[in-house]
Amino acid sequence: MQGVNSLKQGERQEMVVQEAGPRPEHVAIIMDGNGRWAQARGLPRIMGHRAGMEAVRRVVQSAPGLGIKYLTLFAFSTENWRRPRLEVEGLFALLREYVEKETSDLKAQGVRVRFLGERENLPQAAKKVIERCEAETAGCTRLMLNIALNYGGRAEIVRAARALASRAAAGQLEPDAITAEVLAAELYTRGMPDPDLLIRTSGEMRLSNFLLWQLAYTELYFTDVLWPDFTQDDLAQALAAYRKRERRFGGIQNRG
């Protein structure tokens, strides 16, 4: 059988669709490498972020055809505020531009959009466009697109713990009744399955405070491809690698 890496461009996606085997229902992606992509071309970093928006468009369009029902993208972390002010302002300008331009197309494609993260200190203009996008796509069911914005995994867990502590202090919840399921119901991803597969681009091999609770048993896939260069074929290759994994969730291999 022809190897995945030797397939011509455009053939990997078709191969993944036709192959039997488990498919990840929920895929999370750390979209890394925009700045390096721009620097390698002698361009301002913001141009790398703009090119990264095109990669977002490609992946969102191809995800449902590959059997993905939930797609969670790490767009802006709680630590990203430390970046130069002009870069942060440019990122939020690009976000508004993308959301305003894409909302109608996303709705037409059956994509529901949700933004995960703290919103209190977001620019007011950004809050307005993301709330409008969420409202306009609320009835879509083909793909759930989660965009992690001003998101941090530790902050999310602390937020959930505080909510449970408040309920316990008010006599609404017995401490002994707090289980993993109860805590998970306080997370931004409540009601969704945990990611089956995490993809990180650009060759970095760390989680960077992303979905720390949800990734407990997720399969990890790292690629040297910079995010702006990430294509439908790269996504298909990641899914093909996933199918070769055996997920035991702490158990042992079932050999029959």
First CA to last CA across the chain, in angstroms? Answer: 26
36: nearest Cα among 235, 226, 219, 249 = 226
Are the CB atoms for 214 and 44 separated by under 8 Å?
no
Known catalytic residue at 176: no
Known catalytic residue at 32: yes
Catalytic one among 32, 196, 233, 234? 32
Interatomic CA distance for residues 229 and 234, integer angstroms: 9
> What is the DSSP-derived secondary structure letter of residue 66?
G
12: nearest Cα among 181, 248, 239, 244 = 239
Catalytic one among 5, 80, 176, 196? 80
Are the CB atoms for 38 and 45 separated by under 8 Å?
yes
Active-site residue list? 32, 80
